[in-house]
């Protein structure tokens, strides 16, 4: 098997980190999304596969974050992005 692409690895780490911050298991997320298996989510988190855009949006919705949180810099800005979302919702 070939090495995962660097961008896939970064995306996977972001998904995993946000999932863990939410206190959710891979099973809980995959069941909440419906249509993706726990093993598919695991392969996304490991960077072995990249989810299609609509799947990525469903993962983001399930984790209650903007899809931008998964980009290269999003995980570092996660708390800042969440604060901005809360502020805009309350405005």
For 6-52, what is each residue's pLDDT tens digit? 888 889 999 999 999 999 999 999 999 998 999 999 999 999 999 99
Q: Which pairs count as long-range contacts for 5-11, CB under 8 Å and 24+ apart, including other chains?
A: 5/47, 5/50, 7/50, 7/72, 8/47, 8/48, 8/49, 8/50, 9/46, 9/47, 10/47, 10/72, 10/75, 11/44, 11/47, 11/50, 11/70, 11/71
Q: Is the pTM of this model over 0.85?
A: no
Residue 1 in this model has a pLDDT that exceeds 60? no
Which one-letter DSSP state was computed for residue 53?
H
Helix segments in the chain, DSSP class H: 6-21, 26-33, 38-45, 53-62, 78-90
């Amino acid at each position: 098997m070939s090495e995962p692409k660097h961008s896939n690895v970064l995306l996977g780490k972001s998904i995993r980190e946000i999932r863990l911050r939410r206190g959710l298991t891979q099973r809980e997320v995959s069941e909440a999304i419906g249509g993706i298996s726990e093993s598919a989510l695991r392969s996304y988190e490991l960077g072995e596969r990249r989810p299609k855009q609509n799947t990525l949006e469903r993962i983001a919705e399930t984790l209650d974050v903007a899809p931008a949180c998964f980009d290269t810099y999003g995980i570092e800005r996660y708390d800042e992005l969440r604060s901005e979302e809360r502020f805009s919702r309350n405005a």
